[in-house]
Chains A and B, each alone.
Chain A
Amino acid sequence: MTDLDLARAWLVDPASGREGPGDIVVRDGIIEAVTWLEGIDAEGIDAAGVVVAPGFIDLHAHLREPGNEDAETIASGLAAAAHGGFTTVCAMPNTSPAIDEPGVVAGIRAAAIVSGSPLELLVHGAVTVGREGGTLAPLGELADAGVAGFSDDGAPIRSGSILRNALAYAGALGLPVIDHAEDPDLTDGAEANDGLVATVLGLRGWPVAAEEAAVGRDLAILADVVRDVPSARLHLTHVSTGASLDLIRRAKSAGLPVTCDVTPHHLALTDDWIAGSRRWAWEASVDPWDVAAREAAPYASSLRVNPPLRCPEDALACLAAVADGTANAIATDHAPHTEVDKAVEFGLAANGISGIETALGVVLAAVDAGHLTLLRAIEALTSGPAAVLADRSRRARSVGLLEGSPADLVVVDRADSWTVTRERLASKGKNSPLIGMSMPGRVLLTMAGGRIAYEAPSD
């Protein structure tokens, strides 16, 4: 257990909604004192320097173990998470075997312990056996084994009746059903967002309607279920379009128990990147056919992801959803892949971006550009996801800089930046479209459960 003295930093505390100059003292792994500075003591400290926030919580990451350890292991995934400032990670069940029975959950827990990582690793159980969409997995046994929610992600829950039953059953268990909303008939063979870029580059289009229709269906079913099971909860993950977010916004104001998250890549990157642009969604976009304006070669397979990168309007809608709270959380959908699966033709590449280490940088870019406040960004990375996890995380009731709690902290130097390189990525997955780019902010220290999980090298 560690001691830490952080003086004259910018503290961000989602628990109280407060941010400002302050000191933090950690003794033996426990936050001993949080002192907010005022008046003369506060002079010269601002949010552009060293920032201290609670360690981030990722609702959605693919750690690949068991079954695909070439792409990532629990150990490498947690190391990557710590590098990214995360202290709690939820692993999705599309492993091999899928997390559809307690034995697999136990195996993953054991791997986490063996890794020696101080991070909190939570696990989502599959909704259906083998994630095949046929019959319900043993949801009760999985709940007893400690899963944080149920999902068939990377696949949607195809059958409406399965979704209905899962929502009802899981509701009684007090756990959310997490759906990857996609109508697979509309996305058969699809490669990129159905828009101008796909048309110009000759890529098979992935219509917005494929997500919107599935979201609409899910919300309608949820509305039905809550009449019988008021405790039912639906969480829609990696929502990527304005149309879907509008539906969710309306459902929330109607009182439906739905939550959702967006990924960093969906709120900042756009399908223009496939044409060779490297501009953030909020920057002026460039004609995908303007070859002279290309900043990178087109068809980079690191950009192939499900849901696909959307047009700038949709990306800005995701950003706005974080700002106005429609999006409860930012979740990374960290999806590491091996070279073999990614160093191929765009249309043959596996879907996914290795993003847990660059999530903070992308979000800070949005904050720097004025599209998000720092407090709201930190909330979306901490208290927002904690609320979705309810009592499954040891931190859920206390996501903040709270005296007496074990230290789950991230210390970020916003005055610094770092260039993303393959060597610097702790994840085994080097499939990041941000390689070669400079990310704002640099994680200096990540503490989880009172122990140091990551410390920046002093070079």
Chain B
Amino acid sequence: MTDLIDGNAAADVVVPSVDAAPDSQTVGWRHRHLLDVDELSTADLDLVMRTTDAMREVLARPIAKVPALRGRNVTILFYEASTRTRVSFEVAARNLSADVTNIAAQTSSVSKGESLVDTIRTVEALGARMLVMRHAVSGAPYLAAEVFGGSVLNGGDGWHAHPTQALLDLYTMRSRLSGGSVAGRKIVILGDVLHSRVARSNIWALTAAGADLWLCGPTTLLRGFEAWAGRGAAGGRRFHVTADVDRALRDADVVMALRIQRERMSSGLLPSLREYAARYGLTAARLALAQPGALVMHPGPMNEGVEIAPEVAAGAQSVITDQVTNGVAVRMAMLYLLAGVSAAGAAP
């Protein structure tokens, strides 16, 4: 933010400088849904970053609440158990003074329970205007968006996308890297890339922002990404894929470790978690290969001792707790922007 006052600034708020001055903003927010980061233009991304700045400032206030969404309902519909993300969205919604409805559903299948379509029609009839959804099946939010009259915010669908995670990761990196930008920085995503919606959304966001992105993990967990990297993403954006962890980490500016799940072993993709930890775990020794002061990130929840060593997770370079705080701010920003579209009845 530009220099506004000469007096005492609000305590301890790290308000990152964002590239363009506010007055150069010409475009509003037109998206009715947030299903994936790939729908956002660079201008949209800037707007989200800027709005998140403002939400960070709200979070630093004695009363961390604004009435922006007062009287509006935000329904959280999670088909996958997740405490952290759900709570993050709840806190975000309540900080905007919204009314929050929490629904924990079972992943639907024809023989058990209500179908997704019926559930959404029901919650809409109950007054939901904004739906935050998490689902175990890739693509589910797109079906929801077809059926739901309000806004759908994807809180994670299968292996496909987790847009708010990518946004908060981008925000965190920009706020902590000197220069406030990820352009040209070497960023490594380390771990189970194949099953990771966090990885996929980050691939889009980081390549769009001009980062030098590397994906690293055991070959069984990189399936399909080598071919994708060879082709490049839309617009000719490129990224690197390697199973060589030393090569990936060398001189990196940011290392993001992904969670390894036990079921990867039982499905035959990995011999054991111990072997994974030994060959790919982010230990202090491996971190030393990166730039001094390189950022350590993790979307959580962590398997300490497997994909990340406890001392690294808690160490000076870790910005994992920042990610959590920024997560609330980003989600507040997204709920706010999407609510505006619903209210204005703008076309999707």
Binding site for B on A (CB under 8 A): 191, 194-196, 198-205, 287, 289-291, 297-299, 301, 340-341, 343-348
A194 to B137, CA, bound (A): 17
Report B189 CB to chain A, min CB distance, Å. Answer: 15
Please determine whether B234 and A290 come into contact, CB atoms closer than 8 angstroms. Answer: yes
B39 interface hit (Cβ, 8 Å): yes
Report B193 CB to chain A, min CB distance, Å. Answer: 10
B39 to chain A: which residues have CB within 8 Å?
A: 291
Contact with A344, one of B116, B160, B231 (Cβ below 8 angstroms): B116
B110 to chain A: which residues have CB within 8 Å?
A: 340-341, 344, 348
Contact with A345, one of B135, B159, B197 (Cβ below 8 angstroms): B135
Please determine whether B234 and A291 come into contact, CB atoms closer than 8 angstroms. Answer: yes
| Residue from the set B115, B135, B225 with the largest chain A CB neighbour count within 10 Å | B115
Chain A: CB-nearest residue to B207: A289
Chain A: CB-nearest residue to B138: A202
Q: Could you tell me which residues of chain B, from 195 to 233, have a CB within 8 Å of some CB in chain A?
A: 197, 200, 204, 223-225, 227-228, 231, 233
B161 interface hit (Cβ, 8 Å): yes
A204 to B157, CA, bound (A): 13
In the complex, besides A289-B233, A343-B117, 20 extra interface pairs with C-beta distance below 8 angstroms are: A194-B224, A196-B224, A196-B231, A199-B223, A199-B227, A202-B160, A289-B204, A297-B146, A298-B139, A298-B142, A299-B139, A301-B143, A343-B143, A344-B115, A344-B116, A345-B135, A345-B137, A345-B139, A345-B140, A348-B137
Contact with A205, one of B145, B158, B223 (Cβ below 8 angstroms): B223
Contact with A along B258-292 (1 / 0, CB 8 A): 00000000000000000000000000000000000
B25 interface hit (Cβ, 8 Å): no
B322 interface hit (Cβ, 8 Å): no
B46 interface hit (Cβ, 8 Å): no
A291 to B44, CA, bound (A): 14
B224 to chain A: which residues have CB within 8 Å?
A: 194-196, 198-199, 205
A344 to B140, CA, bound (A): 8
Please determine whether A200 and B108 come into contact, CB atoms closer than 8 angstroms. Answer: no
Please determine whether A202 and B234 come into contact, CB atoms closer than 8 angstroms. Answer: no
A198 to B204, CA, bound (A): 16
User: Mind listing 11 A-B residue pairs with CB under 8 Å?
Assistant: A200-B200, A201-B138, A202-B157, A202-B159, A202-B160, A203-B159, A205-B223, A299-B143, A343-B115, A343-B117, A345-B140
B161 to chain A: which residues have CB within 8 Å?
A: 202
Known: A199-B225, A199-B227. A347 touches B142 (CB 8 A): no
B235 to chain A: which residues have CB within 8 Å?
A: 290
Chain B interface size band reads: 35 or more
Please determine whether B139 and A340 come into contact, CB atoms closer than 8 angstroms. Answer: no
B38 interface hit (Cβ, 8 Å): yes
Report A179 CB to chain B, min CB distance, Å. Answer: 27
A201 to chain B: which residues have CB within 8 Å?
A: 138-139, 160
| Residue from the set B116, B135, B197, B224 with the largest chain A CB neighbour count within 10 Å | B224
Report A415 CB to chain B, min CB distance, Å. Answer: 35
Contact with B38, one of A198, A291, A343 (Cβ below 8 angstroms): A291
Known: A199-B224, A199-B228. A344 touches B138 (CB 8 A): no
A290 to chain B: which residues have CB within 8 Å?
A: 234-235
| Residue from the set A194, A200, A345 with the largest chain B CB neighbour count within 10 Å | A345
B138 to chain A: which residues have CB within 8 Å?
A: 191, 201-203, 299, 346-347
Chain A: CB-nearest residue to B159: A202
A199 to B241, CA, bound (A): 14
- Give the top 5 A-B pairs by smallest Cβ distance, nearest first: A299-B139, A202-B160, A202-B159, A199-B224, A345-B137
B140 to chain A: which residues have CB within 8 Å?
A: 345-346
B2 interface hit (Cβ, 8 Å): no
Known: A202-B160, A202-B161. A347 touches B139 (CB 8 A): yes
A345 to B135, CA, bound (A): 9
A426 to B115, CA, bound (A): 26
Chain A: CB-nearest residue to B201: A202
B178 interface hit (Cβ, 8 Å): no
A289 to B236, CA, bound (A): 11
A65 to B110, CA, bound (A): 20
Contact with A196, one of B117, B137, B227 (Cβ below 8 angstroms): B227
B26 interface hit (Cβ, 8 Å): no
A458 to B303, CA, bound (A): 69
Chain A: CB-nearest residue to B197: A202
Please determine whether B116 and A202 come into contact, CB atoms closer than 8 angstroms. Answer: no
Chain B: CB-nearest residue to A204: B159
B38 to chain A: which residues have CB within 8 Å?
A: 289, 291
B24 interface hit (Cβ, 8 Å): no
B159 to chain A: which residues have CB within 8 Å?
A: 202-204
A343 to B138, CA, bound (A): 15
A340 to chain B: which residues have CB within 8 Å?
A: 110, 115
B109 interface hit (Cβ, 8 Å): yes
A203 to B161, CA, bound (A): 11
Please determine whether A345 and B234 come into contact, CB atoms closer than 8 angstroms. Answer: no
Please determine whether B225 and A346 come into contact, CB atoms closer than 8 angstroms. Answer: no
